[in-house]
């Protein structure tokens, strides 16, 4: 059996290595570039118009075979150097039965207008993801030419959403001269089995110094229609502690878009991360109080249906939590 010392030794070897094959253990269909070239990044002016979109979810009640979940999407808009819109969509409450979501889960998905096969399993992750991408699609249509739509995460919707839907969305954004950009806070990209982003951060500091902005093309994601997507790692602010994975349209001016994006990533509280996305993240979150509000409303509605309190308590009581507290 491996000891802590043996595990630490192997982990140190992986993290201190600087070579090896590029991979994405998170699972993706990326074509990695043969070499990774780190390039300096010139900071430019912010885009004239920018939407940022994020989604949130919460498990309201869990009987294991039966779940009540809530999801919502939110967006923020930046125009002329200021926030011009903060918008939360209404919390949507879903009933899920079994591992595939049951007929109730599929009913929620149909009500949201998701282009998902009727037989596909439904879970809270799919419901949240589609709510987010549905709002992203709206933002692409509402953004002015030369603007951006920022997405929290990579530009790859849930696997149950057909590939042609994303391809059509990218085609619309290109025709409208709107850049669709994904920013991943914690990437699974690896080199030699170790986190790639951290390795590039150290290498870039050695090349350009501790306060340089830089970017490095890493991979391509090919699509059946259009030029596909370019995956890069970039540090967008000289005060930023971290770099991020960023997905861009492959046919676009990557250095120009990243230079514009860097102008939105200079907030003192979130250096290096686009501030509009941090606002969208806050708006979309489903904190404990929001979950409790949904449960309180649900309990009142169940009272109206004549369901005894004892029945719902026995169904949704957290027996594991109760045992840990005893």
What are the pLDDT digits (tens) for 203-234? 999 999 999 999 999 999 998 888 899 999 99
Pairing of strands 66-79, 22-23: unpaired
Give the separation between CA 19 and CA 11, rounded to whole angstroms.
Answer: 15
pLDDT surpasses 80 at 326: no
Tell me the DSSP string of 172-200: HHHHTT-EEEEEESS---EETTEEHHHHH
Q: What is the percentage of the chain residues whose pLDDT exceeds 70?
A: 96
Which are the contacts of 188, defined by CB distance < 8 A and separation ≥ 6?
24, 25, 26
Give the separation between CA 288 and CA 154, rounded to whole angstroms.
Answer: 27
What are the pLDDT digits (tens) for 58-110? 999 888 888 899 999 999 999 988 999 999 999 999 999 877 667 888 888 88
Comparing 20 with 140, the larger pLDDT belongs to 140
CB atoms within 10 A of CB 267: 16
Mean pLDDT of the chain: 91
Q: Residue 324: pLDDT band by 50, 70, 90 thresholds?
A: low
Half-sphere exposure of 35 (CA within 13 A, CB side): 3
Give the separation between CA 82 and CA 86, rounded to whole angstroms.
Answer: 11
Half-sphere exposure of 65 (CA within 13 A, CB side): 1
Give the separation between CA 218 and CA 202, rounded to whole angstroms.
Answer: 16
Q: Residue 27: pLDDT band by 50, 70, 90 thresholds?
A: low
Which are the contacts of 12, defined by CB distance < 8 A and separation ≥ 6?
none
Residue 70: what pLDDT?
93
Residue 63: what pLDDT?
86
Helix (H), strand (E) at residue 135: helix 124-142
Cβ 44 vs Cβ 260: under 8 Å = yes
CB atoms within 10 A of CB 70: 23
Cβ 299 vs Cβ 102: under 8 Å = no
228 by Cβ neighbours in 10 Å (0-12 / 13-18 / 19+) ranks as middle
The residue extents of the domains of the chain are 24-286, 289-325
Choosing among 3.40.630, 3.30.40, 3.40.50, 3.30.2170, the CATH entry for 24-286 is 3.30.2170
Give the separation between CA 101 and CA 98, rounded to whole angstroms.
Answer: 5
- Provide mean pLDDT across the span 250-259: 95
Give 110's strand partners: none
Q: Residue 44: pLDDT band by 50, 70, 90 thresholds?
A: very high
Residue 15: what pLDDT?
83
Choose the weakest-confidence range: 19-33, 207-221, 233-247: 19-33
Q: Which range among 14-18, 61-65, 161-165, 233-237 has the greatest average pLDDT?
A: 233-237
* CA pseudo-torsion sign 105, 109, 110, 112: positive
Buried b (16+ CB within 10 A) or exposed e, 178-201: bbbbbbbeebbbbbbebbbbebbb
Cβ 80 vs Cβ 49: under 8 Å = no
CA angle (241, 243, 248) in 5-degree steps = 155
What are the pLDDT digits (tens) for 172-209? 999 999 999 999 999 999 998 899 999 999 999 999 99
Place of tokens 């904190």: 287
Q: From the centroid of its chain, how far is CA 132?
A: 9
Pairing of strands 39-40, 66-79: unpaired
């Amino acid at each position: 059996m491996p000891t802590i010392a043996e595990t630490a030794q192997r982990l140190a070897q992986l993290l201190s290595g600087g070579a090896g094959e590029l991979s994405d253990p998170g699972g993706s269909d990326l074509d990695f570039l043969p070499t990774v070239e780190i390039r300096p990044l010139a900071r430019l002016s912010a885009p004239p118009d920018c939407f940022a979109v994020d989604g949130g979810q919460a498990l309201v009640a869990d009987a294991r075979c039966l779940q009540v979940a809530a999801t919502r999407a939110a967006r923020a808009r930046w125009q002329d150097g200021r926030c011009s819109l903060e918008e939360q969509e209404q919390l949507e409450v879903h009933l899920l039965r079994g591992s595939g979501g049951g007929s109730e889960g599929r009913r929620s998905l149909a009500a949201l207008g998701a282009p998902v096969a009727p037989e596909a399993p439904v879970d809270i992750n799919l419901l949240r993801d589609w709510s987010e991408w549905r709002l992203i699609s709206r933002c692409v249509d509402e953004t002015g030419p030369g603007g951006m739509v920022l997405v929290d995460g990579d530009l790859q919707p849930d696997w149950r959403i057909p590939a042609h839907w994303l391809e059509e969305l990218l085609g619309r954004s290109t025709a409208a001269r709107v850049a669709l950009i994904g920013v991943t806070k914690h990437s699974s990209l690896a080199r030699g089995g170790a986190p790639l982003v951290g390795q590039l951060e150290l290498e870039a500091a050695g090349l350009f110094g501790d306060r340089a902005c830089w970017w490095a093309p890493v991979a391509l994601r090919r699509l059946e229609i259009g030029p596909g997507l370019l995956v890069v790692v970039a540090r967008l602010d000289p005060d930023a502690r971290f770099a991020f994975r960023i997905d861009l349209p492959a046919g676009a001016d990557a250095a120009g878009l990243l230079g514009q994006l860097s102008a939105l990533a200079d907030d003192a509280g979130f250096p290096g991360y686009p501030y509009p996305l941090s606002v969208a993240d806050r708006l979309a979150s489903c904190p404990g109080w929001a979950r409790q509000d949904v449960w309180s409303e649900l309990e009142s509605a169940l009272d109206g249906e004549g369901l005894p309190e004892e029945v719902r308590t026995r169904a949704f009581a957290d027996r594991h939590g109760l045992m840990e507290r005893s």
